[in-house]
């Protein structure tokens, strides 16, 4: 009986949230900053690689491509002559990986592994880049992260690359909790999936609650500015209909609402998505403007080593 009451309460709360999203999505979208057009781009470099970092509750079967995700973006690279399973695409793993004969192989991981403390995941990204660079000394990297993956990417560069960009060419985050997660949304989602009570999610919720006291937004904005000064292409995207990550926690702006990075808040359709799509949270992975920004960042020659 108690379980039924809790389930009914959760469903009612979710229904209210859906209604709010549909109402909000009907408003005219107001992007924070315009996307750069795809024109006059230099040819891609042979030793530039894209590391795709998926988010919470994903998994990997231990192969380079089967569970890589980011399908729409990978297809968008065909304009550069890349294949869908191109050697320039590297899949991050929450449990690490290894290089064999010059190729990166991610280790298998389960959805539960994605909820580990964020610093653990950041360390796996550092080890991945360090190991692959030993095999490819001239390698450069464009880091593309969705949801928690974007936070991992951002934290890696903040901790290890602010003083020297080194091989990092660009950082693009998509619906990523750069300044935390709302506790109310986590509480609702936690009633459905156990992963929302994981250490990574609890850390993000604590940051959101203490963001004013700790100056979280100021710290992230300063980190983004320093990345840009170091010659790193930085873009942060959010979607207005996202029921998981507040778009203004995903897209960095200053106290006046002016953009800190490239990228902006998108508006996406709620009606073409499956229920498990979590509305705008997943839909961002199929946006042409985001794909154009990723390809542009890959080709841009801005990192001065």
Q: What is the pLDDT of residues 42-68, one digit of tens each?
A: 555 679 999 999 999 999 999 999 999
User: What's the pLDDT at 125?
Assistant: 98
- The answer for residues whose C-beta is within 8 angstroms of residue 197's C-beta and 6 or more apart is 190
The mean pLDDT value of the chain amounts to: 83
Q: What is the distance between the alpha carbons of residues 46 and 298, in angstroms, rounded to a whole number?
A: 11
Report how far apart, in Å, the C-alpha atoms of 243 and of each of 47, 174, 207, 270 are. Answer: 38, 14, 18, 11
Q: How many domains does the chain have?
A: 1
The backbone torsions φ and ψ at residue 72, rounded to the nearest 5 degrees and listed phi first, read -65, -40
Tokens of 141: 């990297």
- The residue ranges of the chain whose pLDDT is under 70 are 1-45, 185-192, 270-279, 301-305
User: What's the pLDDT at 189?
Assistant: 67
Q: Could you tell me if residue 25 is inside a domain?
A: no
Q: Could you tell me if residue 7 is inside a domain?
A: no
Domain that holds residue 86: 45-299
Q: Could you tell me if residue 34 is inside a domain?
A: no
User: What's the pLDDT at 241?
Assistant: 86
Q: Could you tell me if residue 19 is inside a domain?
A: no
User: What's the pLDDT at 202?
Assistant: 92
Which of 131, 117, 125 shows the shortest CA–CA distance to 143? 125
Looking up tokens 């996406």 gives: 268
Q: Could you tell me if residue 1 is inside a domain?
A: no
User: What's the pLDDT at 280?
Assistant: 77
User: What's the pLDDT at 42?
Assistant: 53
Q: Could you tell me if residue 72 is inside a domain?
A: yes
User: What's the pLDDT at 191?
Assistant: 64
User: What's the pLDDT at 271?
Assistant: 59
Q: Could you tell me if residue 49 is inside a domain?
A: yes
Q: Could you tell me if residue 285 is inside a domain?
A: yes
CATH number for the domain harbouring residue 206: 3.40.50.1820
- The answer for residues whose C-beta is within 8 angstroms of residue 147's C-beta and 6 or more apart is 54, 55, 56, 174, 175, 176, 177, 244, 245, 281
């Amino acid at each position: 009986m108690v379980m039924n009451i809790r389930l009914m309460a959760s469903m009612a709360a979710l229904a209210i949230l859906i209604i709010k999203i549909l109402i909000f999505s009907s408003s005219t979208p107001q992007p924070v900053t315009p996307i750069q057009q795809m024109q006059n781009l230099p040819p891609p470099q042979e030793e530039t690689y894209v590391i795709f970092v998926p988010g919470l509750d994903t998994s990997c079967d231990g192969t380079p491509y089967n569970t890589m995700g980011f399908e729409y973006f990978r297809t968008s690279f065909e304009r550069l002559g890349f294949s869908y399973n191109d050697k320039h695409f590297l899949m991050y793993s929450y449990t690490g990986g290894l290089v064999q004969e010059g190729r990166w192989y991610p280790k298998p991981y389960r959805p539960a592994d994605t909820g580990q403390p964020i610093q653990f995941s950041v360390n796996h990204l550092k080890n991945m880049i360090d190991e692959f660079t030993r095999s490819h000394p001239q390698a450069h990297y464009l880091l593309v992260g969705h949801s928690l993956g974007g936070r991992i990417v951002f934290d890696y560069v903040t901790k290890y690359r602010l003083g020297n960009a080194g091989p990092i060419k660009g950082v693009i985050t998509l619906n990523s909790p750069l300044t935390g997660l709302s506790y109310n949304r986590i509480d609702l989602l936690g009633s459905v999936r156990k992963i929302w009570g994981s250490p990574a999610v609890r850390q993000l919720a604590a940051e959101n609650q203490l963001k004013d006291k700790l100056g979280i937004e100021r710290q992230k904005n300063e980190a983004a500015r320093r990345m840009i000064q170091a010659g790193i292409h930085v873009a942060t995207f959010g979607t207005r209909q996202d029921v998981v990550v507040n778009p203004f926690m995903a897209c960095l702006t200053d106290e006046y609402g002016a953009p800190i990075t490239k990228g902006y808040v998108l508006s996406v359709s709620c009606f073409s998505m499956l229920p498990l799509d979590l509305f705008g949270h997943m839909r961002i992975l199929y946006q042409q403007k985001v794909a154009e920004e990723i390809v542009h960042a890959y080709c841009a020659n801005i990192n001065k080593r």
